A and B are shown apart, each in its own frame.
Chain A
Amino acid sequence: MASTAQSILGGASVVTTAERAGSFAACRALLRRDFVLAWRRRGELFLPLLYAVIVAALFPFALGPDPELLARIAGGVLLVIVVLAMLPALESMFRADLDDGTLEQWLLAPQPLALLALTRVIAHWLMTVLPLIVVMPLLGALLNLPVKVLPVLIVALLLATPLLALLGSVLSALAAGARRSGILLALMLLPLAVPVVIFAAGAVAAAQSGMPFIAPLMWLAAALILAIVLAPLACAAALRIAVET
């Protein structure tokens, strides 16, 4: 696996090719590399899904199978499950690349570090979070989520999870240089995740009670746009701290 990394991004000759071809080619190479690496270990891609299904299945046992109660809490429960399922994967967003020296090549590459970081977040989101959103109808059915709320929940997740992944990338880069980071990452993500969860849950709750739900979604979209611009810059700064010794 390390050799794959080397051949695509590591070697000096590849960097000059990328230099000639520009930033777009570098991002494409990075995306391809991440997909190849993930595909070689495709079993791991199912772990967040499995986690989400197990947690969702536990709720009816803990609270009793009353359909009305489940329908009332389903939206919020599913949001929290997605946030929690994202956490373990966030920790490993940059760790392997820091250990095998790929991050140092990122720093040396002619492309802006922030752009590479954004590409990594996109790849990470596509591989670990998108499957969770795809199985949302199944999880919604498990928890008796009203069908009319499901589209709103999915749109809210499509806006909220990239936002969380962007925020998480900054924290993951910060924690990458630390000795231990498991619970630390959760502690750091919690304050930043609270507003995101509030707005996403607000949209779902409004849709459930038949109220207009556009405003919280707009807030999420605005925050996402802001995060797409700012988070990669902060992430790049954090990666520089993680790499320097």
Chain B
Amino acid sequence: MSRSYLPHWMHWLGSPPNFYRFAGVLRPWLMAVALIGAVVGLYGGLVLAPPDYQQGDAYRIIFIHVPSAWMSLFIYATMAVAGLVALVWRVKLAEVIAMECAPIGAAFTLVTLVTGSLWGKPMWGTWWTWDARLTSELVLLFLYLGVIGLYNAFEDHRRGARAASLLALVGIVNLPIVHYSVQWWNTLHQGTTVNFLDPARSSIAPSMLWPLLVMALATHLYFFASLLGRARTGLLSLESGKQWVRALVGGQPTQTTGAPT
């Protein structure tokens, strides 16, 4: 036995068949809690929370916009960490996780941009402005698209995953720019109103804060559920020549062994 720096369950979970079953068990629960959270959060945000004294009811888009924006950054960080693990230790599961993060992250980034644009029209009087926060979020979308494009440009998906992981790591310089853009530049986008490290400095009313946090929790859980589901199919296609996949899909090992490995 070689000396291991990782606990045993991590090795167990890193094996594709084990992860496939584990994700299959966990996914419905995550999805169910995410749905309940979304219903509760949206009810709290759209019905219970009072209208804003300045923006009226239009502000309610933050219950979609802000959690999506948080997710766009969180998923990129997840993708970069998984990409680092994939590059350094060449863990097949980490490659799949990193690559399956990208489409979900791109979707959340797109939702952020679209909802922000919908809100910007009545509030700022314009759909789009070349403001630091908006521009850096758009750049984030292009980073996601670049990762997806590079991954799909390779015949060999494992090489593609490693190349795209490296691109994700290079692009991580954009994350602090998005996050601090409202502090570094004097932007049209409003500043930070939720402060997790120092709740006393948050400038958002508690009646608006709790639905926002519930929505944030729901989007996180949805992301994990979606990621597990995507990783399951990703593993299936990557391992389609392997014994455990054949046992899973047909039971009978087929004669033709032309499946890519």
Contacts and interface: CB of A to CB of B under 8 A. Distances in A.
Interface of A: 167, 170-171, 174-175, 177-181, 184, 187-188, 190-192, 194-195, 234, 237-238, 241-242, 244-245
Interface in B164-215: 164, 166-167, 169-171, 174, 177
By secondary structure, the A interface counts as helix
A190 B177 CA distance: 16
Given A170-B166, A184-B146, A187-B145, 18 more contacts: A174-B164, A174-B166, A175-B153, A178-B154, A179-B153, A179-B154, A184-B150, A184-B153, A188-B150, A188-B167, A190-B139, A190-B146, A191-B142, A194-B135, A195-B177, A234-B170, A241-B162, A244-B159
Contacts of B33: none
By secondary structure, the B interface counts as helix
Contacts of A179: 153-155
B150 A237 contact: no
Given A191-B139, A234-B166, A241-B166, A177 B149 contact: no
A195 B87 CA distance: 27
A241 B156 CA distance: 11
Contacts of B167: 171, 174, 188
A242 B163 contact: yes
A178 B159 CA distance: 9
29 contacts: A170-B170, A171-B167, A174-B166, A175-B150, A175-B163, A178-B154, A179-B153, A184-B149, A184-B153, A187-B145, A187-B146, A188-B146, A188-B149, A188-B150, A188-B167, A190-B146, A191-B140, A191-B142, A191-B143, A191-B174, A192-B170, A194-B135, A194-B139, A234-B169, A237-B166, A238-B163, A241-B162, A244-B159, A245-B156
B191 to A, nearest CB: 21
A94 to B, nearest CB: 13
Q: Which 7 A-B pairs have the closest CB atoms?
A: A178-B153, A188-B146, A191-B139, A191-B142, A174-B163, A191-B143, A241-B162
A181 B174 contact: no
Interface residues of B, number: 26
Contacts of B177: 195
A181 B160 CA distance: 13
B163 A177 contact: yes
A179 B142 CA distance: 20
A245 B154 CA distance: 11
B139 A241 contact: no
A170 B163 CA distance: 10
Contacts of A245: 156, 159
A175 to B, nearest CB: 7
A179 B157 CA distance: 12
Nearest to A231: B170
A175 B159 CA distance: 11
B153 A187 contact: no
